Amino acid sequence: MAEAALKAARAQVESDRQSIAAAEAAILQAEAAVKIARINLGYTRITAPISGRIGKSNVTDGALVTAYQPLALATVQQLDPIYVDVSQSISALLYLKQSMEEGTLNQNGSKQKKVKLILDDGMVYTSEGTLQFRDVTVDPSTGAVTVRIVFPNPDGVLLPGMFVRAVAMEGINEQAILVPQQSVSRDPKGNPLALVVGPDAKVEQKSLTLDRPIGNKWLVTAGLKEGDHLIVEGLQKIRPGDSVNEVPFEEEQQEDMDQSTSSHPVAAAH
């Protein structure tokens, strides 16, 4: 009797062990099912890989979407900081390089990489950008290289696709002078001329050497010196040798990045 009872007890223990193993297997299976459910639940929520602003949706509510489909659900744009790509002609780039090598244009340290932005309405963007790189390939259709600038954009003023103009500090020409374009006239041969007020309040004519236009001004490399009183208005009414009264010339304030020496523009009146 005792031996039979022992065998029965052992059989019961073995049965209980099998039940425990089956229960543990069921638990593992249930945990795996929970993990799969969580993964599937995660597929119902799409998270952006970057921070930014999302554009309009390309699909409607209830539309069937699949993994790796060619049509994106929407596009997320990073806005702060934001990249601004502008084009620089290869001729301007070669001119800049040549001027640096010849010493006519000096670099200006950290300001060399600072860029200002003029918005489509003519306003100057409040923050300066930093020149990140110039592309190494010239676009054969435009003859220009792409220049990338990084701007802080915490308020989201700059948006992708906006039209802007960049004003960069190329360098300093310490021997040149910036003058309003309207102060420069031409003789019959096309040579540039300017009228200045001499120390005796009489009009003097000077021949100029122009480098290039910068905004609404000419970069003059010869013919004027610092402190010259350049006549800007009333050029048609006066001739060299005339006596004139100087009136300070008021022009719109512009953000000129060029640090060239400036003359003193005046309006002349008899």
Identify the CATH number of the domain defined by range 79-168: 2.40.30.170
pLDDT given at position 50: 84
Residue type, 204: E
- What residue segments make up the domains of the chain, in order of their start? 79-168, 177-269
> Which residues of the chain are under the pLDDT cut of 70?
1, 102-113, 171, 251-270
Decide the pairing of beta strands 177-180 and 261-262: parallel
Please enumerate, as own/partner, the contacts of 48-57 that have beta carbons within 8 Å and a separation of 24 or more.
Answer: 48/76, 49/76, 50/76, 50/78, 51/78, 52/76, 52/77, 52/78, 52/79, 53/77, 53/79, 53/156
262, 177 contact by CB (below 8 A): yes
| CA atoms lying within 13 Å on the CB side of residue 201 | 7
Q: Which CATH architecture has domain 177-269?
A: Beta Barrel (2.40)
> According to the model, what pLDDT value does residue 245 have?
84
- The pLDDT value recorded for residue 233 is 85
pLDDT of residue 105: 64
pLDDT of 106 reads: 64
- Give the whole-angstrom CA distance, residue 113 versus residue 191: 35
